[in-house]
Structure 1
Amino acid sequence: MQYLGELNLWKIAIKPGKPFAYGRIGNADFIGLPGNPVSALVTYLMLVRPFMLARQGASELAPPRMTLPADFELKRAGDRREFFRARRNPAGQVSLFSHQGSAVLTSLVWAEGLVDIPAGTTVQRGDPVAFIPLSALEG
């Protein structure tokens, strides 16, 4: 099937979302999203949406983010950039959904946004983290 086109990108170092593909068939781009629903949404929001905005000529591609204190700990540094489903709590901190599995759709219903943790990073309670509000990604 390689005669149909080319695969330029396969598997990326983000979680959720590792099995992601990008390539071309003739003059057309194609993007393959992961199969788990949370992985598909996160890769769409973080990769496909900016790609589509760039194709439309937009200048602002990166999602807006704010820095908020963590109301959680990550004691083990991951080897991939991680996007955790989260929401702001009444104290102005960011709390994580209790189950972060890539098939857990309830995490998306509960979440107000995503916390973006770079690979190799640990987090202590109170540390500043990048929070991306889902409301900023509408439209």
Structure 2
Amino acid sequence: MSTSPAAHTDGLEWAQQRGMGALAEKMGLRFTEFAVDRCVGTMPVEGNTQPVGLLHGGAYVVLGESLGSMAANLHAGPGRLAVGVDINATHTRSATTGIVTGVCTPIHLGRSLTVHEIVITDEQGRRCSTVRITNMIREAPAR
């Protein structure tokens, strides 16, 4: 299986073939749109809550990091690997039911560093969390 975005004309196909990793799959993340300039993913609230029934703050971060890191890797291209070096999140509302949607857009796309902002909203379109992730781009290790 190729993980190179150049091998696919469709970023969504590339992301689906590459996979999101065990944690993202366990949490029910789904990519619905995937390109260098915009990535969209969803995650169910159910199964990802705190004991009091609110979507766990860490779940917002998992959605944000999954979108931002995958977007950085798509930008990095063949033979290169993007790895997270900084992430922060501000939670402004609590989702308790349904699905949340993360929209990831680049703030900076450089040769060695990327910065993405991920806005996560509930089903009513209300912002619940804003995540910012910085990824460093390196040469991929030889396999």
Name the TM tier (shorter chain). under 0.3
Give the number of the structure whose residues are more often strand, by fraction. 2
After TM superposition, the score normalised by the length of structure 2 is 0.27
Structure with greater Cα Rg: 1
After TM superposition, the score normalised by the length of structure 1 is 0.28
